[in-house]
Copies of this chain bind each other. A is one copy, B any other.
Amino acid sequence: MTRVAFVGLGAMGLPMATNLLGKGFAVTGYDLSLKALDALESAGGRRAGSAAEAAAEADVLVLMVVNAAQAEAVLFAGGALKALRPDGVVALMATCPPAAVEAIEERVRETGRRLIDAPVSGGVAGAKAATLTIMAAGPRDTFDAAKPVFDALGDKVFHVGERPGQGAMVKTVNQLLCGVHIAVVAEAFALATKVGVDLKILLEIMSGSAASSWMLRDRGPRMLEAEPEVTSAVDIFVKDLGIVLDAGRDTKAALPLAAAAHQMFLAASGRGDGTADDSQVIRSYFALNGSK
């Protein structure tokens, strides 16, 4: 039986850890939130007083923290890496810039331990239902060592490459597409508004045509609402398209569409809409073009 240390028991991490418990893994968790630790215990897991304590004697250390800086803090300053047994595997499942993942992996490797770069997509719903998409990169044997854990968390587990950083890049590319797809729906709706086209009919037509996207069908209806429920905030794409553009800088790739889309999310956040639903990037277009 694989022993898992799980650090980061937030909206994604807690249901993921719970799924591991449900599938027979021994899970020791750590989070700054005592409430999260209580919830893990209720689900049958063990609580640790620190990330290092959680990592001690684990076979796989899952990091589902907020960003690369937190992952570094947990692993290095926090001592979790040292506490991990020498043949243990670090599964970095948080969304991080590809270059940051490469740097972290190098430091992990220097200690003789292994890292698998394994970001996820599918959101909280996918975390709960164990239907996450997992985009893992690292040497095949490292991937194989972590695969039982991944299979308990998602139903679309891909080995995307041999080099850590490649998983983060696939996730980055995923966010590039998602962010631009949201922004372009807003751009299209803002143009249609100029000549008084009924946006509900427009959305119905576009949803069934070659112009359709997953985001058009999901975010489009919420763009027509003045104050939609927040399913994912504007500031998430301020961050994620920021990671996309950082990846472009690190690899020296010009990304004109992602850059333009990022500006619209950034402006929305700057006007005070950072916590609004990300569909409300359309307000940037209305502000820019003076309509509605």
Q: How far is A202 from B167 in the complex, measured between Cα atoms in Å?
A: 10
**CB-CB contacts below 8 Å: A232-289 with B:** 244, 247-248, 251-258, 260-261, 263-264, 288-289
Q: Which secondary structure dominates chain A's binding surface? A: helix
Nearest CB of B to A248, in Å: 6
Cα–Cα distance between A174 and B194 once the two chains are bound (Å)? 15
* Count of this chain's copies in the oligomeric assembly: 2
Question: B188, A173: Cβ atoms under 8 Å?
Answer: yes
A59 interface residue (CB < 8 Å to B): no
Between A and B, 15 residue pairs with Cβ closer than 8 Å are A133-B208, A166-B195, A166-B196, A170-B192, A175-B211, A176-B188, A180-B187, A181-B184, A184-B184, A191-B244, A209-B214, A211-B214, A213-B215, A252-B289, A257-B257
Interface residues of A (CB under 8 A from B): 98, 121-123, 133, 135, 156, 158, 160-161, 163, 165-166, 169-170, 172-178, 180-181, 183-185, 187-192, 194-198, 201-202, 204-206, 208-216, 218, 244, 247-248, 251-258, 260-261, 263-264, 288-289, 291
